[in-house]
Amino acid sequence: MHLFFENVASHMFKLWSGQFFKDDTLNNSIPFVLSKSSWKEIGIEMQNNRKNMPLDFGRPPRNIWKNNAGFKAEEWANWITLYSVPLLKSKLPERYRIYKYLLNILMILNLISKKKIYISNL
């Protein structure tokens, strides 16, 4: 799971925030990059809800816009599995179906994290 959460999840964030490529012209050509103001809003919302999160979720959420470089696998896991769906739902452009792909990724993560996978799960 570290492979996914420390690599894929952080790269998904970089892609959606326009930080994926070193060349800004390539980043600007991605049509579903969220604005800095959107990411600031998401980060503030995460930080403001730190005290409302159950301890069972592990480490309380930090502002993803300010602290993403220091995120550990657990924080990326929480971002993808818990926070990304409600926080990105109204922000990702619908015409690219990115949100649907995100939901599919979460279903796959749920499936591969099971100890046993049955044919009926597929």
Under 8 Å CB-to-CB from 98, ≥6 apart: which residues? Answer: 16, 32, 92
Which one, of 77, 88, 99, lies nearest residue 39 by Cα?
Answer: 88
Per-residue pLDDT, averaged over 67-94, amounts to 90
What's residue 6's pLDDT?
A: 84
- Number of domains the chain contains: 1
pTM of the predicted protein model: 0.82
Per-residue pLDDT, averaged over 32-49, amounts to 94
CA angle 88, 42, 33 (to 5 degrees): 55
pLDDT at 3 over 80: no
- Confidence tier at 120 by pLDDT (50, 70, 90): confident
* Dist. CA 65–CA 39, nearest whole Å: 6
What SS3 class is residue 68?
helix
pLDDT at 96 over 80: no
Which one, of 35, 46, 56, lies nearest residue 86 by Cα?
Answer: 46
What's residue 37's pLDDT?
A: 95
Whether 95 contacts 50, CB under 8 Å:
no
Provide the domain limits for residue 104. Answer: 2-121
pLDDT at 22 over 90: yes
- For the residues of 38-67, what is the DSSP string, one character each? HHHHHHHHHHHTGGGS-GGG-SPP--HHHH
